[in-house]
Structure 1
Amino acid sequence: MASQMTEMLKGTLEGIVLAILAERSAYGYEITTRLRDGGFSDIAEGTVYALLVRIEQRGLVDVEKVPSEKGPPRKVYSLNTQGRDQLADFWRTWSFLAAHIEQLRHTDSISTTDTNEGA
């Protein structure tokens, strides 16, 4: 199941990070911590940073360098208008997929019940 979870997460992680940034601006480590606290304990910090680079390059976030007490300035990511539009698309797609997957799951449980009744 871990492999299946990893593959599914790869396809949704961008939307999850955008949703976190929709709540408030954050830097990479904060985002990783929020993910881990939210039950995504297997996410590597490097995965989050690579994703942040991609969404920055795609223009979905604004980045501000903020001084840090413990070293170099931190990059704080804020969702911009383009990022909010992308997040809205993500939620529309998520709702569509979730509804249809639930429908398939329900159909599968009916057909499984029907098969078991004939035994």
Structure 2
Amino acid sequence: MDTTQLLKGVLDLTVLAVVESEDAYGYDIVRRLRDGGLSDVGDASVYGTLRRLYSAGALTSYVVPSESGPHRKYYGITPAGRAQLKQQRDDWTAFSTTVTTILTKQSFQGVSA
């Protein structure tokens, strides 16, 4: 199954979840998502999502100087981002439960093959 469209639908949710407990810089967020099982997530998709969530007020950002390379832009979740994450978690739970119920039913009433 091509998961590209599924990934687009949950990228905001997963990015917010990744930074919920600890701020992170862009590539670290990509790495955490991939380590979490989203191996097909693209760098550009994550960076675009970070910019969009920041513009919407769900994330804050700050720059940390680095002596061993370029400065890193870190992202943290805002109160608005926490509220968005909670709502999206609730939505995801309801949606995934519904889809799982449909997929695991042995027969459907009123449906003929």
Superposition TM-score, scaled by structure 1 size: 0.85
For residues 42 and 104 of structure 1, the distance between their equivalents in structure 2, rounded to whole angstroms, comes to 26
Task: State the shift of 1:50 in Å.
Answer: 0.8
Q: Which has the higher helix share?
A: 1
Q: Secondary structure at the match of 1:55?
A: helix
Residue by residue, what CA displacement relative to the aligned partner does 1:67-110 show, whole Å, maximum 9, x if unpaired?
A: 02343321100001000000001011011101211221233x33
For residues 101 and 40 of structure 1, the distance between their equivalents in structure 2, rounded to whole angstroms, comes to 20
Match in the other structure for 1:26: 24
| Uncovered stretches (5+) of structure 2, i.e. residues with no partner | none
Task: Tell me if 1:45 matches 2:31.
Answer: no
For residues 33 and 96 of structure 2, the distance between their equivalents in structure 1, rounded to whole angstroms, comes to 21
Match in the other structure for 2:77: 79
- Structure with larger Rg: 1
For residues 57 and 22 of structure 1, the distance between their equivalents in structure 2, rounded to whole angstroms, comes to 17
Alpha-carbon RMSD across the aligned residues, in angstroms, is 1.8
Task: Tell me if 1:102 matches 2:107.
Answer: no
Superposition TM-score, scaled by structure 2 size: 0.89
Number of matched residues? Answer: 111
